[in-house]
Chain A
């Protein structure tokens, strides 16, 4: 009896001590802790008590991030949640919901979330409308493209009578655009017409779409641009038959999957598409100092990420292409159009397939706009001899005011 008790106590003590010892031996944790404490003591922006409180929260978070066997603990928690059968998990400030398909989505359980989202979307219509007013004075057309979210508007697959507000907000946002005379393309309708399912078209463990469906959707957009704005394109450029495909099976947990681990989330497979025909790009990114000339593969593919097999928690299946904040000249383009492409991460996943459609493309990401010194959206449009501005956002962005601060 005493031996069993002693063994239990030793194992319990070790279960606490080993991860903690690994935490304290981690220099990143030590650096974060010292930095947080120093900034709390020296900052004049807040009272010392508030500073120490913030510092304590930062150290607490750093301890969780850097503790030994961090990912194993996450996996165990996910296993516990899976065994409990729950389809709603709270992790810090984030709430995850498992859909009928097994895919994960982030969800706000705040009863006021739907109203706040609708109010923000209304403001964003006004921002976009102001941009249109300016573009009208310059004679430049504006197109808003709405990429679908992970929740199917007809069958979201949510448990516990949870309601999908994202599509409702997006609908009211599009109604607002309609009233403001802003041209838009709702890719959700295209998906419905084509019969593309969200289960096939989206990652299980991440909010983003699969590259295959991103390209198929983009092909549709280029067709629309041709029909509506006369920017002629070659459909074969986006035909999947003309692409090289590299498959990566079960390589990654996306942003939602990493929160809850491999036993709760379904690890995702992905594909890297590159054109199987001649391409020639000149890509300039002033923010990071790039100036590259070469093929699609040489200028826009991020091999360091796609070849990293180090683990489910670190592999990146979203940033397989370099395209953020770049100006790309496509010398083999099917037209002479200069397009300013304002996009979110869904547009980012299209990578080089966007500049493949135009002679010159200026890619703008509002999240890094403040880092683009001496440039504003207006100055970019003014200095680019712009023929068309495309704002390409998925439905989760229509209530994000910072994405519309043009």
Chain B
């Protein structure tokens, strides 16, 4: 926030500080509310706050959801197997899809100028990258937790199939959403308040904090406030309750703002975000498309296809369809998981591009 002229202090913050700070707060609040017992063992406290699978990139595990497991968890072979499978899926999301799409996004965002098609391609690539990066880490954390006998709550539920912005936020970063809901929104009265003005105030506070939680930058703040405006409009207009036959339009509306939001989130400054938006609508762009569009799209076409495909719940649907053929399905799953793991390890060993978005938070 460079135009507020305050002296900058360069303090080296530990990675994942936003996550474990929220967990520590959760412990204090839940114990105070009687939703979990106070721990008398410092080891157990340390276990809760610094449990390594989710320490640096979430999900934010609220104390009440895990208080009992700290002392009474049960490690099982079944849990070990499932956890390992989940870990491999998360690793694949991160290494095979997110990392490859990151190259597209970074090239599009880092360039000083771009065509309309390249700008859209970069924005879509980042939309997919951030989903597979973050949900991949969540899968790995949930999987590792399961290996050790913990059951963490889900953090993502196919957010890109949402038909409203409100639904999107019920499916995206669920642990952060529920944290703010339970510890900020509800205590302020939530949506059961007497006046619309109070509802607006409550939502404003929540989304201001959500923006700030991601970082002390104007881009994050504006990103949070953008969602505040959209959510308040949806709530006040009863958007979700209205019946319509134009459901595809609702997808388009939701994804349009989600993608636009990620541009703001990804851009290093507000100025560069504005320039990026401008190139998306052809202002200051180098043309409708250019050589860079082909260079970014063609080598990564497969990652875009898989990225879009798996952002829909096709795996659960596939599982359901194959439920009658349990044994062959289990064999296929085993082979696929092994292939994925070997490819993941190969990709890591070869040193392919490996940015880590949520380290920053």
Contact = CB atoms under 8 A, between A and B. Distances in A.
A87 B330 contact: no
A15 B345 contact: yes
Given A8-B85, A12-B84, A15-B341, A92 B350 contact: yes
The prevalent SS among residues of B at the interface is helix
Contact of A111 (B85, B107, B298, B345): B107
Nearest to B99: A90
Contacts of B300: 86
Nearest to B303: A84
Contact of A86 (B88, B299, B351): B299
A74 B345 CA distance: 9
Contact of A91 (B84, B112, B345, B351): B351
A73 B349 contact: yes
A74 B299 contact: no
A309 interface: no
Interface residues of A, number: 41
A126 interface: no
A64 B298 contact: no
A9 interface: yes
B334 A8 contact: yes
A332 interface: no
Given A88-B299, A160-B294, A4 B349 contact: no
Contact of A80 (B107, B295, B334, B346): B346
A92 B349 CA distance: 9
Interface string A62-89: 0010010010011011001000111110
Contact of B349 (A77, A85, A159): A77
Most buried by A among B81, B112, B346: B346
Interface residues of B, number: 41
Contacts of A73: 342, 345-346, 349-350
A21 to B, nearest CB: 14
Contacts of A93: 351
B351 A92 contact: yes
Contact of A49 (B12, B88, B343, B351): B12
A77 B330 contact: no
A165 B111 CA distance: 18
A161 B81 contact: no
Given A4-B331, A111-B111, A80 B343 contact: yes
A19 interface: yes
Nearest to A84: B302
A13 B337 CA distance: 11
11 contacts: A4-B327, A7-B334, A9-B85, A12-B338, A64-B349, A76-B343, A77-B347, A92-B353, A109-B103, A160-B298, A162-B295
The 7 closest A-B pairs by CB, nearest first: A92-B351, A8-B334, A77-B346, A88-B299, A9-B81, A161-B291, A4-B330
Given A76-B346, A259-B350, 20 more contacts: A6-B81, A8-B81, A8-B85, A8-B333, A9-B80, A9-B84, A12-B88, A12-B337, A13-B84, A16-B341, A64-B348, A67-B349, A73-B349, A77-B349, A84-B302, A92-B350, A92-B353, A111-B112, A159-B298, A160-B295
